[in-house]
Amino acid sequence: MFSKSCEYAIRAVIIISKNSKSNLKTNVKEISISAGVPEQYIAKVLQILSKQNIIQSYKGPHGGFFIDEKHQKIKLIEIVTAIDGESLFTSCGLGLHECSEKNPCPLHNSFKGIRNDIKKMLQKTSLNELSENLQESLFKAK
């Protein structure tokens, strides 16, 4: 459903959020290890999140990424759209470019409901909820 970049972004933001609550900044290497994501890959994702003002960064020897209190309240939909855009909420379930309300594919009506449910869930779920309730041990690839 989400792109790999989006999955990695969500993992990274949760890790940063948890550490930020303890007034800690998290560097790329720590995020890479905790999230189970290659360091160069996660660095690019973090750059996007920083430009979108979802996370903040501080340069220098004691620098790293953090999330201020205001941004702990952001909804998951902001992270998803920052990385994947709006296509998750508008694209065809079969990947057909010509699918529309006027020219629906066989899955159109069913998939439209699923897309709307996903969007509602993302709009309701805050970063704070995720960072408090998700154990980082779930991130590790087996």
Nearest to 138 by CA among 67, 34, 62: 34
- Give all domains of the chain, ordered by start, each with its CATH number: 4-133 (1.10.10.10)
**In the chain, which ranges are continuous DSSP H helix?**
4-20, 28-35, 39-51, 76-84, 108-124, 127-133
pLDDT in tens, 6-40: 999 999 999 999 999 999 999 999 999 999 999 99
Mean pLDDT of all residues belonging to the chain = 90
**The pLDDT of residue 41:** 96
Chain segment 31-68, per-residue pLDDT in tens: 999 999 999 999 999 999 999 999 999 988 888 999 99
pLDDT of residue 87: 86
pLDDT value at residue 136: 58
Indicate the residue type of 19: N
* Packing angle, helices 39-51 and 28-35, rounded to 10: 110
Q: Residue written as tokens 């989006």?
A: 6
| Confidence check: pLDDT of 142 > 50 | no
Tens of pLDDT, residue by residue over 119-137, are 999 999 999 888 887 665 5
Helices 76-84 and 4-20 pack at an angle, to 10 degrees, of: 140
